[in-house]
Amino acid sequence: MAAVTLKDVAERAGVSIKTVSNVVRNAPRVSEATRKRVLKAVHELGYRPNPSARRLRTGHSGLIGLAVPDLATPYFAELAQHVRAEAAHLGLTVLIEETLGDATEELRLATGVGASLLDGVILSPLRVSPDELAAVANEFPLVLLGERSYERDQVGADHVLIDNVAAARDATAHLAALGRTRIAAIGVDQQASATSRQRLEGFQLALHEAGVIYDPRLTPAIKEFDRRNGLLAMRALTALPAGVRPDAVFCFSDLLAVGAQRALFEAGLAIPDDVAVASIDGSDEALYSTPSLTSVVPDKTAIASLAVKCLAARIRSDEPLPFEVHTAPHWLHARESTNGGRQQLFR
């Protein structure tokens, strides 16, 4: 049986081939009634888009990759949703890969190896070295997410990030403004990642500005940015002598903060009366935790929009484009973990 074509679908739906193409690519400016009619015809005929054929016609498949360390992490799961939505507006389809922070896998995806139909990749790297990225970045359309641990021109790729130093500074300054003087930090990882280093820098800067002494005993090392490590680190902090034990803690991720809150509950300590808690990520995990978490919220919509538009421009341009670094905004949402009381989520 011959394969169903765009023309077949167009004839069944009573529309033009271009309209069918727009619906299949999820392009905007198609009426809902027309979209439903075309999708009904697609379903009835069993039409399946052929990326190879599209690439032969246009030179592009319309497929891009998003590679993140861990889709079980709320921040990356939510970011992936925003990337998919932004790509759909531009008529692009997103294939999502999970690297688990493996340097070899990150490098493989940065070069498009193993996914020959991809037009480009948005990558959030954790372990691959700047030298390795620099060696391949000019060979394949690539946009990087997250913190840079290298100079601007060292890796030839667009980069979208937030100002981690400023974000950590904002969260810590909020705790200091509450009158807390023994402020701990959970998130100093053993791998000395760029995220950890930059957030520690912002933490220390805010302490200095508030006249609060930095005490290294209040920054226990962790292995991962997850709930378990937040729990274990907070247990160690609550075991400190009374004069050292923190009265506030800044966690480098929402997941760390959720684990820390559990440890405080186990220790019989009240949040925020005994220990105020703040974090970074602005995930739904922070919103629905009990108490709700004060968290710095990166603008994930802006991050996704900047990343997809940068990649699309690079894919579609016939001329080399200059590489740019884009900083997305962030803001602090103060909630129950620092403000106390009970706040109704939705009114």
CATH number of the domain where residue 180 is located: 3.40.50.2300
pTM: 0.79
Q: In this predicted model, which residue has the larger pLDDT, 180 or 31?
A: 180
> Looking at residue 115, what is its pLDDT?
52
**What does the buried/exposed string (b/e) look like for 307-339 if buried means 16 or more CB atoms within 10 Å of the residue's CB?**
bbbbbbebbeeeeeeebeebebebebebbbbbe
> Looking at residue 47, what is its pLDDT?
72
Phi, psi of 67 (to 5 degrees): -115, 115
Number of domains in the chain: 3
Contact call for residues 169 and 202 (beta carbons, < 8 A): yes
pLDDT in tens, 32-44: 888 888 888 887 8
222, 243: one domain:
yes
Q: In this predicted model, which residue has the larger pLDDT, 111 or 193?
A: 193
pLDDT in tens, 112-157: 655 557 888 999 988 887 777 777 766 778 899 987 665 555 677 8
Q: What band does 56 get if pLDDT is binned at 50, 70 and 90?
A: very low
* 205 within a domain of the structure (yes/no): yes
pLDDT in tens, 80-101: 999 999 999 888 889 898 988 8
35, 141: one domain:
no
Q: Is 177 exposed, middle or buried (0-12, 13-18, 19+ CB in 10 A)?
A: exposed
* 103 within a domain of the structure (yes/no): yes
DSSP assignment string, 238-300:
HTS-TTTS-SEEEESSHHHHHHHHHHHHHTT--TTTT-EEEEE---HHHHHSSSPPEEEEE-H
pLDDT in tens, 8-35: 888 888 988 778 777 766 666 778 888 8
CB atoms within 10 A of CB 56: 10
293, 303: one domain:
no
97, 182: one domain:
no
Q: How many helices (H) and strands (E) does the chain have?
A: 14, 13
* 58 within a domain of the structure (yes/no): no
Tokens of 182: 């023994």
Give me the domain span that covers residue 250.
Answer: 164-297+333-339
216, 264: one domain:
yes
110, 172: one domain:
no
136, 183: one domain:
no
223, 114: one domain:
no
281, 178: one domain:
yes
Rounded-to-integer distance, Cα 321 and Cα 152, Å: 15
